[in-house]
Amino acid sequence: MKTKVYIIGKEKREEAIANAAEVIKDGGIVAFPTETVYGLGADALNSEAVNKIFIAKGRPQDNPLIIHISDMDDVELYAKNIPDIAKKIMNRFWPGPLTILLEKKECIPDVTTAGLNTVGIRMPSNEVAREFIKKCGVAIAAPSANISGRPSPTDVERCIEDLNGRVDCILGGDNSEVGVESTIIDCSVYPLCILRPGGVTLEELREIDESIYVDPAILNKSNGDFKPKAPGMKYRHYAPKAKVIIIKGNLEKTIEKINELMVNYIVEGKKVGLMVTDETIESYKCEYKKSMGTRSDLSTVAHNLFETLRSFDDMNVDVILAESVEEKGIGTAVMNRLKKSAGFDIIDA
């Protein structure tokens, strides 16, 4: 398949968006920018178009998609029995990195929600995303624009890397500011439950309602008894080609442990990459080391996380040794993605 690529900046913004929207109207699939990560979109009401997303990504059919809207009022077109607390949450956090699960209306086909009676809805804050959705005139079903299992793309080059030749169109715009996917909150039940930590933090959500809690099944490696409520959270995900190992504990000990492990792997003939932070990077003597950002502002780490993981693949390293960060605020989302990319391979420092 020949993929049409429209990059805003190289092409006029309005034309690029209009061309991409035409592809959606013709039943095609389009990668597009959002503030969390790039998405791979289709008309959410067109089963055939939505099905193409699953094929292009190699995504399991039991993994439902989030739908994206450009206008707060559009939520009524796709969801019913919307509780007041959900409206309060939308008013506070939309547009932005938060997906709300609600009871779905009949118009949404089974393939979009993988047969569930709830639908995840998000209104992104990225302006290009909203203009594009508006121009399509319908909600856009979109997972992250990566091949299933790979780290999500946060810029157009990474989308092209994964999807060129597999999708009808790629619309390039801003790099994703947040860098990790949206928080998912189930508002079809009470108390409300967070199914995936993301750009909006638990602490912020609890300002609306103190009873909001995080699905316990996502905090550790899932086993048979504890099934995550979001189907996608059970898969190994965000994984670069290299093996990832997380080193957890007091910072000084972490540095010591990483240096020790690094030497052992190099002796074994392995190429080692270090994924560290601004505060520690000078403590390592390694050819392939990269800082994810600063510990004093973990949103910088979230912003760079997936790009750093992918850049180690470009360097063809065999093993990535990663520092952990504090599981607080956006750090919860960072550690959730990092643990999944490591297949929960965590070593105490």
Q: How far apart are CA 131 and CA 211, in angstroms?
A: 35
Please identify the residue of the shown chain whose CB is closest to the bound ligand TXA. Answer: 232
- Does position 183 bind Mg ion by CB under 5 A? no
According to the binding rule CB under 6 A, does residue 231 interact with ligand TXA? yes
The H-or-E segment that residue 185 falls in is strand 183-186
| Contacts of ligand TXA in 95-114 (CB under 6 A) | 97, 99, 101, 113
Taking the least distance from each CB to ligand TXA, the nearer of 8 and 333 is: 333
Biggest CA pair distance of the chain = 61
Nearer to ligand TXA, 154 or 291 (CB): 154
Instruction: Select from Mg ion, ligand TXA, none the partner in contact with residue 251, using the beta carbon and a kind-dependent cut-off of 5 to 8 Å.
Output: none
Size of the site for ligand TXA (CB under 6 A): 29
* Closest CB 161 distance from Mg ion, rounded Å: 16
Which DSSP string do the residues of 152-172 spell out, in sequence order?
A: PP-SHHHHHHHHTTTSSEEEE
Q: Is 91 left (phi over 0), alpha (psi -120 to 50) or beta?
A: alpha
Query: Is there binding between residue 36 and ligand TXA (CB under 6 A)?
Result: yes
Distances (CA, A) of 215 to 89, 120, 207, 314: 18, 16, 18, 35
As given in the structure block, the two tokens for residue 73 are: 């009022």
* 120 near ligand TXA, judged by CB under 6 A: yes
Binding map of Mg ion across residues 128-167, x = CB under 5 A, - = no contact: ----------------x-----------------------
User: Are the C-beta atoms of residues 242 and 258 closer than 8 Å to each other?
Assistant: no
Give the nearer residue to ligand TXA in terms of CB position, either 121 or 321: 121
- Give least dist CB 68 to ligand TXA, A: 6
In sequence order, which ranges of the chain are alpha helices (DSSP H)? Answer: 13-25, 47-57, 75-78, 84-93, 110-113, 127-136, 156-163, 202-206, 251-267, 298-314, 331-341
**159 in contact with ligand TXA (CB under 6 A):** no
The residue from 70, 125, 154, 182 that contacts ligand TXA (CB under 6 A) is 182
Q: Confirm or reject binding of residue 116 to ligand TXA (CB under 6 A).
A: yes
Binding residues vs Mg ion (CB under 5 A): 144
